[in-house]
Amino acid sequence: MIIVNLDKAKDISHTIRRQQRAIAFAPWDDVIAKQIPGTSAQEAEAKRQEIREKYAAIQGQIDAATNIEALHSILQGL
């Protein structure tokens, strides 16, 4: 029987969440950093806030997970 350390699994899940969040932020970070013509900094910041809220909710779901199956399900939704 395989025994999984749930706390370690949550740490790994958070690392995956952070990586996915960074990927989601990348195009909007470019808009802010480069001030790309035809794009609005306000629009970029609004999109960045949406990303923050999405991944904050995922963080809460990971923290509340009570088993590996729940963590797997959360990560599948990224």
Q: Is the pLDDT of residue 35 over 80?
A: no
Residues in the chain: 78
Determine the average pLDDT of the residues in 39-60.
90
Q: How far apart are CA 67 and CA 65, in angstroms?
A: 6
Of the CA atoms within 13 Å of residue 48, those in its CB half-sphere come to 16
Full-model pTM: 0.76
What's the pLDDT score for residue 36? 64
Q: Which of 11, 24, 30, 73 is nearest to 53 (CA)?
A: 24
Percentage of the chain beyond pLDDT 90 is: 64
Determine the average pLDDT of the residues in 46-73.
96
